[in-house]
């Protein structure tokens, strides 16, 4: 009898997963682009109204309260964001320490010079000075004590380092807005307005130019949406804005000289570059934590930290240039 060879069973390749249309389709349709723009404009309008009201309409003591609110929200978003990275951060403690830090800076920059009258004098003011001088060493000890109470030592170093970094990155850098407001060589409110205007107009320039003509990615591994064209657009817009807004500086010296359009242009060039570095720095953190935005508190703009990112780098630089330039 002929020997029949059994037919091997047919092995079917597993069906390939259906392609995700969102990976290949444009990021946004025309309608969604318009809605995104409307939300962005509305969110920006609310922030602008808050800033102008705080600087020019409300009592002076409201200003440090608003700064503290921004720092509180920024720290909460930062610590929430890094939890996605698997780092056991001390979020409530970190936020509380940030509020204490801003309070100390507000006292030293605005109360002691007499900008905000207060009944606490003499020994009270001395106590504030003493607290300021030991804040960072005490903070390190407090964070260690908090770590001692955890059940295990997993990610102990990561939690300690990230908590300290969050305080330095958000609270310490943003606190320079208090020093700028308290400057006596010019109207501090206009100095703050000038910095915000130059920095955020640069952000708007990067967004507009990048969306219109952006073709070359700035740093692919950090932020695929940021383009070289957007970067130069931001720097150009910041430079032109700084020149146009020169009257806001009054007689405040720049680089040791009376303000002039060319000096303001140089200042805007520097602030534009550094502002975009601040934006890129936060993008690096978000990329590592695998989140798109730091939060969703501000419609169209993301989280508070997304709004603060470029200002975190330009505020201390602007203050340093005015004081030591």
DSSP string over 130-147: HHHHHHHHHHHHHHHHHH
Domain boundaries, the chain: 58-182, 184-290+302-325
State whether residue 97 is helix, strand or coil: helix
Please write the tens of the pLDDT for every residue from 268-310: 999 999 999 999 999 999 988 888 888 878 877 788 999 999 9
Give every CB contact of residue 34 below 8 A, 6+ residues apart in sequence. none
pLDDT of residue 126: 54
3-state secondary structure of 219: strand
The three-state secondary structure class of 298 is strand
pLDDT digits (tens, 9 = 90+) for 168-205: 999 999 999 999 998 876 688 999 999 999 999 999 89
Orientation angle between helical segments 156-166 and 123-148, nearest 10 degrees: 150
3-class DSSP state of 254:
strand
Tell me the per-residue pLDDT of 113-147, one tens digit each, with 9 for 90 and over.
656 554 444 444 555 666 667 888 899 999 999 88
Q: Return the closest-CA partner of residue 113 out of 180, 162, 169, 183.
A: 183
Q: Three-state SS for 302?
A: strand
Q: Whats the size of the chain, residue-wise?
A: 325
Look at residue 195 in the predicted model and tell me its pLDDT: 96
Average model confidence (pLDDT) across the chain: 82
- Give residue 17's pLDDT: 42
End-to-end CA separation in angstroms for the chain: 103
The confidence score (pLDDT) of residue 293 equals: 83
Q: Where are the beta strands (DSSP E) in the chain?
A: 217-219, 223-227
pTM score, whole prediction: 0.83
Rounded Cα gap, residues 245 and 182, in angstroms: 20
pLDDT of residue 199: 95
**pLDDT by residue (tens digit) across 53-89?**
999 999 888 999 999 999 999 999 999 999 888 888 8
Between 6-10, 249-253, 291-295, the lowest mean confidence (pLDDT) is in 6-10
């Amino acid at each position: 009898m002929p020997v029949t060879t059994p037919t091997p069973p047919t092995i079917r390749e597993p069906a390939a997963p259906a392609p995700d249309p969102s990976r290949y389709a444009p990021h946004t349709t025309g309608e969604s682009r318009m809605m995104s723009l409307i939300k962005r404009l509305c969110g920006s309008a609310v922030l602008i109204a808050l800033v102008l009201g705080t600087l020019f309409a409300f009592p002076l003591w409201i200003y440090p309260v608003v700064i503290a609110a921004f720092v509180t929200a920024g720290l909460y978003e930062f610590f929430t964001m890094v939890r996605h990275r698997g780092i056991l951060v001390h979020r409530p403690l970190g936020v509380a320490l940030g509020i204490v830090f801003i309070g100390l800076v507000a006292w030293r920059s605005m109360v002691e010079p007499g900008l905000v009258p207060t009944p606490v004098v003499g020994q009270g003011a001395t106590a504030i000075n003493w607290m300021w001088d030991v804040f960072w060493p005490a903070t390190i000890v407090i964070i260690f004590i908090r770590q001692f109470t955890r059940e295990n030592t997993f990610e102990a170093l990561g939690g300690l380092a990230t908590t300290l970094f969050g305080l330095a990155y958000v609270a310490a850098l943003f606190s320079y807005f208090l020093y700028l407001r308290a400057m006596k060589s010019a109207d501090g409110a206009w100095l703050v307005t000038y910095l915000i205007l130059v920095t955020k107009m640069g952000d708007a320039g990067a967004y507009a130019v990048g969306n219109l003509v952006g073709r070359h990615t700035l740093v692919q591994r950090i932020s695929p949406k940021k383009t070289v064209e957007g970067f130069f657009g931001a720097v150009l817009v910041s430079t032109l804005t700084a020149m146009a807004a020169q009257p806001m500086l009054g007689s405040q010296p720049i680089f040791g000289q009376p303000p002039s359009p060319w000096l303001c242009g140089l200042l805007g060039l520097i602030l534009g570059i550094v502002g975009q570095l601040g934006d890129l720095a936060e993008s690096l953190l978000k990329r590592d934590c695998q989140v798109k935005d730091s939060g969703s508190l501000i419609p169209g703009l993301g989280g508070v930290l997304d709004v603060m990112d470029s200002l975190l780098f330009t505020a201390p630089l602007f203050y340093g240039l005015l004081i030591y330039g």
